[in-house]
Structure 1
């Protein structure tokens, strides 16, 4: 996948826009707060105690469903346009790839006990969400170039494969790639609590729910440089894998995640020495922690992973589902731009609960020049 570069970033999160949020995350800052609309019973005091989450207050206050996601998405896309100095009229030959999350957890929740018949969970964002984002964001992206993917965390690797194909064939000049997710809807929180995925007073090893929209723009390197674009990362490769075990079928042995990470690292085996910056969606769930730990054991022979710098976006932003992959890209690219990545390469590894895993490698285009200083 050589020849593809990241030329813009956009984020709407509990920590604000992409520059502010990534700086705050690096400093270990978060804005977790009590969610007054939902709580769990504390057995010690026999009363309902609000859970903590990472909301994009006040951006999403008072909005639900697709309206909430439109608020997140338009804010993030506006942030991307400002970051990359793109004007809306320049987007006529641009594709939009949007990941909105799968229905895996909803299906598990609906099929398990605890939900009365006739009260189904929300079906999730509709495929018209991309159209709404273009309409409200004033983006003249042709309808034929708006693509919606219903994948989870690993979806960023899937999308990159398709986007690179369009760019290689010169069908488009650039691709806007992103994800939107909110785990703060009441019905969603009820389902997550029932599945014992949420961090509550009675389940301290769950995750904190969050919400975010994250986007980045991808272009071919030559025309991007020709127009003087802001180039802060090069896409090296992507990798996908699957394993039979999912979140509710038994403990993960890390095979799928290790395969995705190892396959991605193969692309830089001969050109890189020393540790890489690793970003993974470890979120407080013991199942994912087991997967992460066993994957590292399987990859113990890789010198690049013996003492890696590891960052976990959910620590700062909460669980953001389909938005986590693009959010991790934003964090890695900002680390390159501000020279604190500590490595010329970033490995982004994403685990989805249904069994799919994705990984990608980014390279800092300024690294060689920095080393010569």
Structure 2
């Protein structure tokens, strides 16, 4: 049995460059940066730099993350075409071993968001504590729920913050942060991103700005950052190859890439190795690489929904380099995810019901990635 691709029909964003999708995406399009001096200082006395959301009231711990996530989900639900009580929330969060991670995050986050929105928590809602990979597992589960008829629409989201003194000091000691005299590192950030994933037949065909997710492939990198093992970019190459195969396209049919590369040389080298191995044909122009972290700081678990929202916006407004994009993200533990997306042109686009099978390097049962 074959199904139309799950589609992205709306987004909700709370980032250092905007408190809504409209403002965030306009800022990314224009190249506006939200990087600033943070309220956290290095042992030398210098302020760390990164992306900070300007909240009218700033909480801490899980309440901070709920305050970021609630407006993003609310914005998404405003575009729903089915009752919002029937739309589960699947949310990526930081990995359980992250320094400074709230102990009650996966237990308390979604109930607090529901309380802030004054709605019951929809059945089937869950968190996936796997950094950037959490939203990939959430998207995989959302597509399965839609294909199996268990839901027509699902919110896939991510929320994260690196703005914790203990975490920043640890990252700095491991030479992971960008700063004075250091060109190999990333800028920390915080934010929330959500997309409304829908069955194709739940969206009117005359509705514009709909993004079709043609494939999703997951893999595992055997030499993740900091492992000290010989690094050849095998995990990302496997994930990208799997996504291209599922979408039945080749790399030369990809018009641009969107990634979570962050300023660390590791990520850029990994993206380069994957492209060199798979993009064998001559191009009239270079394959663009879009990476929002230079404007927002690293948003961790929120990166994949942010990329999906940006791809949808670029295609809808006509500033994308072409009709088809390759998205890829990864986590420090080695998980890699790659997707092929394009503007929806027909509700009859082929989509295999088992098209989200894991690719070359097994990452395990995705159902186990969700917190109980």
TM-score range, shorter chain: 0.7 to 0.9
Indicate conservation of the 8 Å contact 2:61/2:101, yes or no. Answer: no
Report Cα offsets for 1:100-139 as digits up to 9, x if no partner: 1213554xxxxxxxxxxxxx87547233211211221233
In structure 2, the residue matched to 1:22 is 25
Once the 2 structures are TM-superposed, how far is the Cα of residue 28 of structure 1 from its aligned partner? 1.3
**Does 2:224 match 1:246?**
yes
**Does 2:81 match 1:66?**
no
Report Cα offsets for 1:161-203 as digits up to 9, x if no partner: 2111111222122100000000012222122222221112253
**Does 2:315 match 1:336?**
yes
* Secondary structure, aligned partner of 2:105: coil
In structure 2, the residue matched to 1:233 is 211
* Secondary structure, aligned partner of 2:204: helix
2:256 to 277, 284, 288: 277
In structure 2, the residue matched to 1:213 is 192
Q: Hey, what's the Cα distance between the residues in 2 that align with 1:336 and 1:94?
A: 26
Indicate conservation of the 8 Å contact 1:2/1:235, yes or no. Answer: no
Q: Which segments of 5 or more consecutive residues in structure 1 lack a partner in the other structure? A: 42-47, 107-119, 368-373
Q: Hey, what's the Cα distance between the residues in 2 that align with 1:295 and 1:263?
A: 12
Which has the larger Rg? 1
What are the residue-to-residue correspondences of 1:15-94 with 2, within 5 Å?
15-16=17-18, 17-41=20-44, 48-59=45-56, 62-82=58-78, 84=79, 86=80, 90-94=83-87
* Secondary structure, aligned partner of 2:177: coil
Once the 2 structures are TM-superposed, how far is the Cα of residue 301 of structure 1 from its aligned partner? 2.0
Indicate conservation of the 8 Å contact 1:97/1:147, yes or no. Answer: yes
Using structure 1 for the length normalisation, give the TM-score: 0.84
In structure 1, the residue matched to 2:236 is 257
Indicate conservation of the 8 Å contact 1:196/1:206, yes or no. Answer: yes
**Could you say if the C-alpha distance between residues 356 and 304 of structure 1 is closer, same or farther in structure 2, counting changes exceeding 3 Å?**
farther
Q: Which segments of 5 or more consecutive residues in structure 2 lack a partner in the other structure? A: 347-372
Using structure 2 for the length normalisation, give the TM-score: 0.84
**Could you say if the C-alpha distance between residues 229 and 139 of structure 1 is closer, same or farther in structure 2, counting changes exceeding 3 Å?**
farther
* Secondary structure, aligned partner of 2:46: strand
Indicate conservation of the 8 Å contact 1:234/1:363, yes or no. Answer: yes
Indicate conservation of the 8 Å contact 1:101/1:152, yes or no. Answer: yes
Q: Root-mean-square deviation (CA), in Å?
A: 2.5
Q: How many residues align?
A: 342
Indicate conservation of the 8 Å contact 1:210/1:319, yes or no. Answer: yes
**Could you say if the C-alpha distance between residues 170 and 141 of structure 1 is closer, same or farther in structure 2, counting changes exceeding 3 Å?**
farther
